[in-house]
Structure 1
Amino acid sequence: MALELYLDLYSQPCRSVYIFAKQNKIPFDFKQVTLFDAQQYGEEFGKINPLRKVPALRDGDFCLAESVAILIYLAEKFQTPDYWYPAEVQQRARVNEYLSWQHSALRLHGSKVFWLRLMLPKALGIEVPQEKMDAALEDLNGSLTLIEEKFIQDKAFIAGDQISLADLVAIVEIMQPVGSGLDVFEGRPKLSAWRDRVQAAIGQELFDDAHRTILEAQDRVVPMEQSKLHMFKAKVIKFFM
Structure 2
Amino acid sequence: MELYLDLFSQPCRSVYIFAKKNNIPFEFKQLSLMDGEQYGEEFGKINLIRKAPALRDGDFCLAESIAILLYLAEKYKTPDFWYPPDLQQRARINEYLSWQHMAIRMHGSKIFWLRLMIPKVLGVDVPQDKLDAALEDLNGSLKLLEDKFIQDRPFIAGEHISLADLVAIVEVMQPVGSGLDVFEGRPKLSAWRDRVQAAIGKELFDEAHQIILGAQERVKLLDAGKLQFFKPKILKLFL
User: What TM-score, normalized to structure 2?
Assistant: 0.98
**Whole-angstrom CA distance in 1 between matches of 2:139 and 2:224:** 34
2:106 aligns with one of 95, 105, 108: 108
State the Cα deviation string for residues 117-166 of structure 1 (Å, max 9, x = none): 00001111111000000000000000000000000000000000000000
CA separation in 2, counterparts of 1:25 and 1:126? Answer: 43
Name the counterpart of 2:2. 4
Of 188, 192, 201, which residue of structure 2 is paired with 1:190? 188
The amino acid of 1:200's aligned partner reads: A
Q: Secondary structure at the match of 1:57?
A: strand
Task: Please show how residues 14-53 of structure 1 align to structure 2 within 5 Å.
Answer: 14-53=12-51
Percent sequence identity is 75
Q: Which residue does 1:64 correspond to in 2?
A: 62
5+ residue gaps, structure 2, are: none
Question: Equivalents in 2 of 1:83, 1:187: separation in Å?
Answer: 30
Deviation at 1:232, TM superposition (A): 1.1
Q: Which amino acid aligns with 1:19?
A: I
Amino acid at match of 1:13: P
- Is the Cα–Cα contact under 8 Å of residues 4 and 54 in structure 2 kept in the other structure? yes
Runs of 4+ in 1 over 3 A off after TM superposition: 223-227
* 1:221 match: 219
Aligned partner of 1:127 among 125, 131, 151: 125
Are 1:204 and 2:202 counterparts? Answer: yes
**What pairs up with 1:66-215 in 2 under 5 angstroms?**
66-215=64-213
Q: How far, CA to CA, are the matches of 2:109 and 2:231 in structure 1?
A: 16
- Output one character per residue of 1:145-192: Cα deviation in whole Å (capped at 9) or x when no partner: 000000000000000000000000000000000000000000000000
Q: Give the RMSD, CA atoms, in angstroms.
A: 0.9
Tell me if structure 2 keeps the 8 A contact 1:57–1:70: yes
Q: Give the match's secondary structure for 1:171.
A: helix
Q: CA contact under 8 A between 1:125 and 1:223: conserved in structure 2?
A: no
Q: For the Cα contact (< 8 Å) 2:122–2:228, is it kept in 1?
A: no
- Point out where structure 1 has 5 or more consecutive residues left out of the alignment: none
